[in-house]
Chains A and B, each alone.
Chain A
Amino acid sequence: MAAAIEFRQVNKWFGKLHVLVDVTLGVAPGEVVVVCGPSGSGKSTLIRCVNALERIQSGEIVVLGDSITSPRMNLTRLRTQVGMVFQSFNLFPHMTALENIMLAPMKVRNAPREDAEKTARALLLRVGIPDKAGNYPANLSGGQQQRVAIARALAMQPKIMLFDEPTSALDPEMINEVLEVMTDLAKSGMTMMVVTHEMGFARRVAHRVIFMDGGQVIEEADPETFFASPKSDRSRQFLSKILSH
């Protein structure tokens, strides 16, 4: 089967900083890949390339069969097929939870309001907060906000979901409610790339763990192998730091 996401010899610079170095990588449909690594390793940049929030300087990225680095690529089509959840939730503060979820279907797909609302309510039910439809983001807890953000990304019925440190901004007691939603999503067969430090989640849910440092993919392995016997010094160092907490 063709890969859902493919990086071929990808290089990216921020000015003189080489943030992605010859990255070659594939993600299969339905696969859940956790990307980890120290801060500044390029892991967020990596997944932000998938929906073209970042542009690359060389190499090629193919998403769902389309080269997204070609000048002819359809940005809107790409982004409706790839949902993204951010560290800082990024709900729109002037809209209710429901309106946040309805916005893209109505404005990008021109879905009728009733349909969009029906879908939105179903998604709120799916993420476990059907009663918060009318709440504004400021009146939701962090965990609730992030669950609305996941529902919002799902509203476009994407084939791929990107998570950029989705629990890093949360209070510890709210992390699990978000991880549960992500776990359910993974079980439903969604293709996911998740940047996270939640090693428990990686162990339980991920099919594969990718360890990055200095813009390079240092190590790829199934979670079992990665956590039991990391091959490189850098991944061992990283794991010892992160697991001792």
Chain B
Amino acid sequence: MSYQFKWSVLWSGQSGYWLLQGLITTLELSALAWLLAVALGILSGALRTVPFRPLRAAATFYVEFFRNVPLLVWMFFWYFGVPPLLPRGVQDWLFDHGAEFWAGMFALGVYHGARMSEVIRSGIQSIPRTQFEASVAMGLSVWQAYRLVILPIALRLIVPPITNESLNLLKNSSVALTISVAELTFQTRQIETYTARAIEALTAGTLIYLVLCVSIAWVMSSLERRYAIPGLIARVGGAG
């Protein structure tokens, strides 16, 4: 027999509702994890370049520890490893209030924070050291030099690799299904369970991821053009 496609399974029954739920969960999970990852990435990426050895060492430890262990392990770590450290009552409360989601969010955010850190560090290190010297030579503190000069330039330079990392984060959010977070991939499997139509369900999931990724890439490239440094990055961006 040849496979008979039956696309109607995607909108009949509860499938459409599940896909929507999955999409919303994926977006919530990814957006929160992204914010956490960017914050951690900027902090640790910047610390890896500052002229104070203990801070550099701490940031290096964070990056190497978190990016070199598979995400799946971190999911289990945050879901199974962390709660037992809390009092029993707190645990129960968490388990009743979406502990899976928060564990998944932390796993994803902390893991990708370590990866973003490297992107941001390389962005900072691509800026000539003399920019930093010029900043502190006029009286700015190290913190001000980073905040007002180094990071604003570095963040513009790294939009393309950050886009890439953000897309990875979105796609990696599907690993959260291993700790029972009902995100998009989970829901496509759910549809498969109920309809035995794996190909249709997976195709729907694939298309949704594709649309999400293309949209993110589009938003990021708009940002890149919007904040391009005149005469510098506009040329690279092509459209500017």
Contacts and interface: CB of A to CB of B under 8 A. Distances in A.
A–B touching in complex (CB under 8 Å)? yes
B231 A138 contact: yes
A136 interface: yes
Interface in B105-157: 128, 130-131, 133-141, 144, 148-149, 152-153, 156
A108 interface: yes
A121 B223 CA distance: 31
Given A86-B133, A92-B131, A139-B231, A108 B139 contact: yes
Per DSSP, are chain B's interface residues mostly helix, strand or loop, or mixed? helix
Contacts of B156: 94
Given A76-B141, A104-B140, A93 B134 contact: no
Given A86-B130, A90-B131, A94-B152, A104 B141 contact: no
Given A107-B144, A138-B231, A139-B231, A92 B149 contact: yes
B85 interface: no
Interface string A71-95: 0000010011011101010111110
Contact of A104 (B138, B229, B231): B138
Nearest to A91: B134
A149 B133 CA distance: 13
Given A92-B149, A94-B153, A139-B230, A108 B130 contact: no
Contact of A138 (B128, B144, B230): B230
A80 to B, nearest CB: 4
A93 B229 contact: yes
Given A86-B134, A90-B133, A94-B152, A136 B229 contact: yes
A62 B99 CA distance: 60
Given A92-B153, A93-B232, A51 B137 contact: yes
A136 B131 contact: no
A138 B138 CA distance: 21
A88 B127 CA distance: 13
B139 A76 contact: yes
Nearest to B227: A94
Given A79-B138, A84-B134, 12 more contacts: A79-B139, A82-B137, A83-B137, A83-B138, A86-B134, A93-B153, A94-B153, A94-B229, A103-B148, A107-B140, A108-B140, A152-B138
Interface of A: 51, 53, 76, 79-80, 82-84, 86, 88, 90-94, 103-104, 107-108, 136-139, 149, 152-153, 155-156
